[in-house]
Structure 1
């Protein structure tokens, strides 16, 4: 992983932890642990095009 990839994954982790804390419900372990998987799926496999949602 490049330093940019690591920065993105760490950002996802912190945003996930903030979301769990603000909701005052849940445990941050799962979203923090799955941040790398989510990042890889989104950047390398999922192809989202807002102009063509089909």
Structure 2
């Protein structure tokens, strides 16, 4: 459906914090998630794809 492949991003100071934000967005959407990329620098920037 139109939902397939929806991408979400999150930024946090830790990998676990960024993943928790991704997980919360997926839960709000009633979807599962797969992390597609994560970058670390001053902060962690994580991207994930949602799927139902």
TM-score (norm 1): 0.41
Taking structure 2 as the reference length, the TM-score comes to 0.42
Larger radius of gyration: 1
Q: Which structure has the higher relative contact order (CA within 8 Å, separation 6+)?
A: 2
Larger strand share, 1 or 2? 2
